[in-house]
């Protein structure tokens, strides 16, 4: 790791970064305002939960197709069109909120379309980033994007809640549409290089098969994605258990808030460090080491009964989670061939994120019989064990990236 500020001279990345910051802030405001709007209109927590479920499950169902579309078409145009569609959907949502008949099925339909658009926008955004930065700047660019995301998560809800409090719920939602429109103009000024279609005129089914084949037949990708399945399960269960831990320990809602704030603060600190110092050649063992240390932190939280010690540990958890989210994708993006990037990354997203709802459901069930501390202890042990087992595999521990023809050409 070494200090390197060259990325801040990259005009294309800076425009892309500001664009991502706008949309991230808008999303953070939007989720607060929309949640409150649904509560006001329906009074049902079930509606709020099912809306979020519809968005999430639709994205999960279409993510593979989204990866194929990203490989077939220019990612820049896909990202711009995705932002335009999302802005229009928000305007429609605000429009129906002013009517006397607030049809919830329309809201669900908008949520489903959001999920489908997100399934294209996410791989397209990743592809765009890899086209405007050098490979040795992957970790640095990811950390800068994480700064934007984490700051937005802290600031956005405060803005959204403030606007809702003074009766401007619709204005808060409209801000998200405005951020998407501003993002469109910024992305239009970014030069992502000339797009060359990498895929042949084959059927979509065959392209899906190609993506899965590469995923399965590339041991390092398959192994690290499988590891991430278990690591994300551990973290997902731990995060679900935070409010129950605060209640059991007698920390109250104030303690719950401080714990979450500590996670965000730790993430921002970690992201700042990685934005200044870049890892030129990220390797799989770095991900495993970071996750092993994160597992230790999660384990220790399960044994802690002091609020301020908990806050320190949660800050460390945020720092490690940010580091994993910077290092792991940078390793994957370095390995995956550009012509298969969208398809393979969508398969990885499907595998790696699939454990989170499962682990959270299991953790919720388990806490009926045991305390939240046991969930943290179990989650920490699971992540540590998974990291240790995978680290013992020589082809992972000693993995060295071989220069590809794309690297030589560039």
pLDDT tier for residue 19 given thresholds of 50, 70 and 90: very high
Report the CATH fold assignment for 1-188: Growth Hormone; Chain: A; (1.20.1250)
Query: What is the number of residues in the chain?
Result: 410
pLDDT given for residue 406 in this prediction: 45
Q: What is the pLDDT of residue 409?
A: 35
pLDDT band at 187; cut points 50, 70, 90 = very high
Residue 358 has pLDDT above 60, yes or no: yes
Which residue shows structure tokens 């700042």?
Answer: 272
CATH code of domain 202-399: 1.20.1250.20
Reading the block at residue 304, the tokens are 């802690």
Structure tokens at 265: 């603060």
- pLDDT tier for residue 371 given thresholds of 50, 70 and 90: confident
The answer to whether 15 and 133 are in contact (CB under 8 A) is no
Confidence of residue 390 (pLDDT cuts 50, 70, 90): very high
Instruction: Reduce the DSSP state of residue 397 to 3 states and report it.
Output: helix
Residue range 168-179: mean pLDDT, rounded: 86
Minimal CA–CA distance to 246: which of 371, 380, 379? 371
- Alpha-carbon gap, residue 368 to 246, rounded angstroms: 16
- Residue whose C-alpha is closest to residue 353's, from 177, 181, 235, 200: 235
**What are the φ and ψ backbone dihedral angles of 277, each rounded to 5 degrees?**
-110, 125
Contact 354, 229 (CB under 8 A): yes
Query: Is pLDDT of 100 > 50?
Result: yes
User: What is the mean pLDDT of the segment spanning 202-223?
Assistant: 84
Lookup result for tokens 């994120």: 353
d(CA 288, CA 285): 5
Q: Which helix (H) or strand (E) holds 277?
A: strand 277-278
Candidate ranges 67-76, 225-234, 361-370; pick with highest mean pLDDT: 225-234
Question: What percent of the chain shows pLDDT beyond 90?
Answer: 26
Judge contact between 14 and 148, C-beta under 8 A: no
Structure-block tokens of residue 145: 């994007």
* Distance (Å) of CA 37 to CA 73, 89, 268, 276: 36, 16, 30, 40
List the one residue out of 217, 410, 235 whose CA is nearest residue 320.
Answer: 235
Residue 370: what are its φ and ψ, rounded to 5°? -140, 175
Q: How far apart are CA 75 and CA 129, in angstroms?
A: 10
Question: For the segment 275-327, what is each residue's pLDDT rounded down to a tens digit?
Answer: 777 677 788 899 999 999 999 999 999 999 898 999 999 999 989 988 888 88
Residue 3's beta-bridge partner residues? 277
Q: Where does the chain hold its CATH 1.20.1250.20 domain(s)? A: 1-188, 202-399
3-state class (DSSP) for residue 158: helix
* Angstrom distances, CA of residue 245 to CA of 256, 265, 315: 8, 20, 16
The CA-based dihedral angle spanning residues 379, 381, 382, 383, taken in that order and rounded to the nearest 10 degrees: 90
């Amino acid at each position: 790791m070494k200090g390197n500020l060259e990325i801040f001279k990259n005009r294309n990345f800076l425009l892309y970064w500001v664009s991502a910051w706008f949309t991230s802030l808008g999303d953070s405001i939007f989720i607060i305002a929309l949640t409150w709007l649904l509560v006001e209109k329906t009074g049902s927590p079930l509606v709020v939960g099912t809306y979020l479920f519809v968005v999430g499950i639709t994205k999960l169902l279409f993510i593979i197709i989204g990866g194929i579309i990203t490989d077939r078409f220019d990612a820049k145009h896909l990202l711009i069109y995705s932002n335009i569609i999302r802005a229009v959907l928000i305007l429609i949502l605000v429009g129906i909120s002013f009517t006397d008949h607030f049809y919830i099925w329309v809201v669900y339909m908008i949520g489903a379309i959001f999920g489908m658009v997100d399934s294209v926008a996410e791989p397209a955004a990743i592809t765009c980033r890899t086209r405007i930065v050098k490979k040795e700047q992957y970790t640095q660019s990811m950390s800068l994007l994480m700064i934007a995301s984490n700051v937005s998560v802290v600031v956005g809800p405060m803005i959204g809640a403030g606007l809702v409090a003074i009766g401007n719920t619709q204005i808060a939602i409209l801000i998200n549409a405005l951020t998407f429109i501003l993002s469109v103009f910024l992305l239009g000024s970014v030069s992502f290089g000339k797009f060359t279609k990498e895929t042949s005129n084959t059927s979509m089914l065959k392209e899906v098969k190609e993506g899965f084949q590469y995923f399965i037949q590339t041991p390092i990708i398959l192994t690290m994605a499988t590891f991430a399945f278990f690591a994300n399960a551990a973290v997902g269960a731990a995060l679900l258990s935070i409010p129950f831990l605060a209640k059991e320990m007698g920390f109250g809602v104030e303690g719950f808030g401080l714990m979450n704030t500590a996670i965000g603060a730790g993430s921002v600190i970690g992201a700042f460090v990685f934005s200044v110092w870049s890892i030129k050649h990220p390797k799989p063992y770095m991900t495993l080491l970071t996750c092993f240390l994160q597992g230790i932190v999660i384990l220790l939280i399960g044994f802690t009964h002091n609020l301020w010690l908990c806050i320190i540990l949660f800050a460390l958890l945020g720092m490690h989670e940010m580091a994993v989210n910077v290092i792991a994708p940078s390793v994957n993006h370095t390995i995956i061939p550009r012509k298969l990037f969208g398809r393979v990354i969508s398969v990885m997203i499907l595998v790696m994120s699939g454990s989170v709802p499962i682990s959270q459901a299991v953790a919720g069930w388990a806490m009926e019989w045991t305390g939240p501390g046991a969930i943290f202890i179990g989650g920490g042990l699971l992540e540590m064990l998974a990291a240790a087992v995978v680290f013992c595999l020589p082809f992972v521990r000693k993995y060295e990236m071989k220069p590809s023809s794309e690297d030589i050409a560039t």
